[in-house]
Amino acid sequence: MARFSTVLLGFLFLCLSTVAWAQTEDMKYKDPAEPVNVRVWDLMSRMTLEEKIGQMAQIDRTAATAEIMKNYSIGSLLSGGGSVPRPQATAQDWVNMVNDYQNGSLSSRLGIPMIYGIDAVHGHNNVYKATIFPHNVGLGCIKDPELVKRIGAATALEVRATGIQYAFAPCIAVCRDPRWGRCYESYSEDHKVVQEMTEIISGLQGEIPASSPLGVPYVGGKTKVVACAKHFVGDGGTIRGIDENNTVIDVQGLFDIHMPAYYNAISKGVSTVMVSYSSWNGKKMHANRALVTGFLKHILKFRGFVISDWQGVDRITDPPHANYSHSLEVGINAGIDMVMIPYNYTEFIDSVVESVNNNRISMSRIDDAVFRILRVKFMMGLFENPLADYSLVDQIGSQEHRDLAREAVRKSLVLLKNGKSADKPVLPLPKNASKIFVAGSHANNLGNQCGGWTIEWQGLGGNNLTVGTTILSGILNAVDSGTEVVYSENPDAEFVKSDNFSYGIVVVGEPPYAEFGGDNQNLTLPEKSLNTIKNVCGAVDKCVVVVVSGRPVVLEPYLSEMDALVAAWLPGTEGQGVADVLFGDYGFTGKLSRTWFKSVDQLPMNVGDAHYDPLFPFGFGLETQPTTSIRVMEPIIDLNEPMEATIELDSNHEGNYDCGSAEAMESAEIMGPTKDSC
C-alpha cells in the first residue's frame, strides 16, 4: 500500500509538473525570443478588462503602495514635481523606492512590470545632487544638435541611476509669446531650431536602428530611457501666452509652426507623446480625436503610446472633473492611451469599466491603448530587466556630466552689448584687476540660476536646494589670486561710489517659476534688481549686467546705463560656465533663439512678422575671442566650503566680513545671504 501511494504520488507530481511546464511553455509573453507583437498579443489574451484598464492608469507615487500595484495592475507611476522618497534622497533611496513598487507589480497575477516616469526636463531635476543643465531656452541659442544629444545621454544615465525608466522630455513647444510661463521649456520661437533640437531624443533613448520602421518606438538598453515629446500640439501659441489657454491659428499655421518637430520626434523613434492642456481654436487637445488619432497615429504612423498631462482629462470639462466619466470617454476615444490620473485610480478604473460595458468606449479602443503601452514595455526590455540595481548610482552629478553642463552654459550665453562704442569693448574682463564689485539677486543664488523644475516644481531660491556652483563662486575661481572680489546683493549708490572698483558685475533676473506660475504680462525685472543696475552702473566706470531669465525681459530704459549686457538664461548648477566666458577663457558664441522685444506692447512678435521691430533680432549675438590659447579647467569652489571673498554689508550696516572667518559665518544672515551661501 505504501509502495502504491508513493508511485501514485510520483505519477501525480509528474503530471502536475508537465502541466505547469506546458503552461509556462505556452506563455509566449515571457519568452524574449518571441517577436514583440507576438508577446503583446499573448499577454493581452490572458488579461481581464480590469487588468487592461489598470495598465492605462498612471498614478503619483504618493497614492501607491506595493499592494495597490499588485491588486490593480497599475501600468505606471510617476513623481510629480518635488515628489521624492525623502528630502535630499540619494540615488540608492530612489532605487529602493522604485523597486519596492516594482516588486508589487511583479507579484500580480500576470507579473506585468510598471514603468516609472518623472519630469527630467533639464537634467534629473527632482534629484538632490543631480546635474542641472541649462533650460531649453538657453540650449536653443547654441543650435548644436550633437551637444543636445550628449545632454540627453547624460540625463538618461542619471535617471536610470535612480531606477527610473521614463522621462517626460523633451518639450518641443514653439513658444511664440514670452509671456508664457513655460517659454523657457521651449528651444525657440522658430520651429526649425526646435526640429534640430529633437536630437536630444537620440541621446535619451539611443540612436534608432536604420532598419526600424517609421513610428515604431525604440529604447536602446538599460542606460537609456523612454522619452516623451510634449505637449501635442500648439501649446506655445496660446493667446497672450496664457498657460493652458486657447491657440487661435488656422490649419496651415498649426502645421507650419507647431507640428514640424513632431515629425522629427517620430522619425527618431520617440516612445511616447504627451497631450497639451491647451485648446486649438476652442477645442481641448485632450478631446481632439482628429489630431491625436487621425493625424498623430494614422497619418504620422506613431506606434508608441499617447499619455495625458497631469489631470488633463479632468480639464476637458469646466470646471475640471465636473463630469469625469464623460471626460474619460471623450479623452480615451480621442486617442489617449495612458491617463495621468494621478490619485483616484479606483474611480478611473470603475468609470472606464462601466463605459466599456455600456459601449461608450469600444473594446477595440481599449485593446489599442494597452497594445501600445505593452509594446513600449516589451521593446525597452522591461520584462527582462524590471528591477534596478546600484550600478549607476555614481552617475548622479558626475564630474563628466558637470563638465558637459558647464560647456553648455558657456555656449548658451548671448552677448547683447559690449561697450558703449564698438571700438571700446568691455568683455572679456581682465582677471588681474585690483578690485571687482559683484552685486545682484542672482549672483550668489543657486536656486535662482536653476529656475523652475529644480528639486521643487516651482523651483526655490537660495543655496540649500542642491549642489552646484553659483556665478559668484565661478567669478572667484576665474580671477587671479591677487584680485579682490567684493559682493553685496543690493547695494546703494553711495556704497558703490565709496570704493575704487575696477569694474562691476551685476547679476539679476527673474525669480524661479514653472508653468502658469510664470505667466507674466509685463515681463519687468523686480524693482530691487532695477535699483541695483542703476546704483552699480551709475557708479562704476565699467559695468557688466548679466540677466538670468527664462525669456527676454524689459531692458529699456536701462540699457544705455550698461557697458555690457549678457543673456545667461537659466544656466543650472554650473555657474562656472558664465565666468569662463566673462573672463575670456572662452569666447561668446551664442545667438538669440528668441526675439528680444523693446516693449511688451509689441507682443506677440516673432521673426518674419510684418511689424518686426525688436531691440535685438532673432539670431543676434556678438562674438568675442578667447584671451588665452590654453584653457585649464580650474577646481570649482564647493558651496559647502568657505569662500575666500570679502562680503560688503548693505548701507544700513557697517563693516566688512571675510567670508572665510567664523565672524562672517555668524554675521552673514544680517546681510541677506544665508550662512550656507558664505
Largest CA distance in the chain: 111
CA torsion 66→71→76→77, rounded to 10°? -40
- How far apart are alpha carbons 517 and 511 in whole angstroms? 11
- How far apart are alpha carbons 248 and 237 in whole angstroms? 8
Q: Please answer whether residues 135 and 367 qualify as being in contact, where contact means their C-beta atoms are separated by less than 8 angstroms.
A: no
DSSP 82: T
Phi, psi dihedral angles at 645 (to 5 degrees) = -145, 160
Q: Please answer whether residues 469 and 576 qualify as being in contact, where contact means their C-beta atoms are separated by less than 8 angstroms.
A: yes
Which of 243, 244, 309, 585 is an active site residue? Answer: 309
- Residue 521: CB atoms within 10 Å: 10
Which of 119, 515, 563, 574 is an active site residue? Answer: 515
Q: Is 309 a catalytic residue?
A: yes
Our measurement of the distance from residue 429's CA atom to the centroid of its chain's CA atoms, rounded to an integer in Å, reads 32
Give the DSSP per-residue string, 134-151: PPHHHHTTT--HHHHHHH
Helix (H, G, I), strand (E, B) or coil at 556: coil
Strand partners, 115: 76
Residue among 571, 595, 583 at smallest CA distance from 624: 583
Give the DSSP per-residue string, 149-213: HHHHHHHHHHHHHTT--EE---B------TTSTTGGGSS-SSHHHHHHHTTHHHHHH-PPPTTPP
- How far apart are alpha carbons 565 and 585 in whole angstroms? 18
- How far apart are alpha carbons 442 and 241 in whole angstroms? 25
DSSP 454: B
- How far apart are alpha carbons 182 and 242 in whole angstroms? 10
DSSP 468: -
Residue for grid cell 577646481: 635
Name residue 179's amino acid.
R
Q: Is 158 a catalytic residue?
A: no
Our measurement of the distance from residue 251's CA atom to the centroid of its chain's CA atoms, rounded to an integer in Å, reads 29
- How far apart are alpha carbons 170 and 476 in whole angstroms? 34
- How far apart are alpha carbons 567 and 591 in whole angstroms? 10
First to last CA, the chain: 87
Please list the active-site residues. 309, 515
